[in-house]
Amino acid sequence: MAMKYAIGQHGAKRREQRRLTRAHGEKVTGHTHESEHTIGFAPLNQSAEGKRGKTKASRKLEKEAWAYQEVKGFHRDHIGTGTHTAADASGFNSDTYRQTQRDLIEEGNVSSAVQINQLGYAFLPKFTAKPDAPNRRAANDSFEHMVRNMDRVDYAEGSDIERVIVTAEDRAEMYLSRLVANGQGEGPGGWPSKEQMKTAKKLFDVKK
């Protein structure tokens, strides 16, 4: 029977936590990891008539939104979680972060919206330390599975739902943004090397 939500969508978070527990031999639950909406619900729902959780449409939009399981402490410290009026080291406060993501998805630029999300992690103290620790491996695995399954992004425009199609190029770029956030970029300045870019293009079947 087909599942209602794909791995990588917020509505599948319990199934994803179970998958990660089996894959990494360390329990992944809401106590260890939390759903990171790589494009936040606030930007997706910005112009909608219904507030978060208050209407069938808003609940559907949130459950179908793309989210991976991030280490709980890092998720709590991210500029997109809660409300932070002061800018962090990424240069964003919560409002400018969310508005930037909204502007990007309205332009059809899903990859850049997700890269902005990962930029927030890159500047968190200690995020680049121990990226291969078991809890971090689970988060990285979850991010990659989300990217693999991400085929479109829906967002509210008043009472309507708009859709942006995610391309293979978008997926490769998003995948690489996680390497950079983890401090694993092997090119100049910590950016992906030519070999890493070649690997990403092959992984996501980028034709050009």
Question: Which pLDDT score is estimated for 52?
Answer: 62
Kindly indicate the confidence band of residue 50, based on its pLDDT and cuts at 50, 70 and 90: low
**Top-confidence residue, 73 or 159:** 73
Mean pLDDT, range 37-48, rounded to an integer:
92
* pLDDT tens profile 136-186: 999 999 999 999 999 999 999 988 999 999 999 999 999 999 999 999 999
* pLDDT tens profile 98-142: 999 999 999 999 999 999 999 999 999 999 998 889 999 999 999
Question: Which pLDDT score is estimated for 131?
Answer: 86
Residues whose CB falls within 8 Å of the CB of residue 126, separated by 6 or more in sequence, listed in order: none
How much is the pTM? 0.94
Q: What angle do CA 144, 33, 36 make, to 5 degrees?
A: 55
Region for residue 55 given its phi and psi (left: phi exceeds 0; alpha: psi -120 to 50; beta: otherwise): beta
- Domain locations in the chain? 10-167
Beta bridge partners of 7: 9
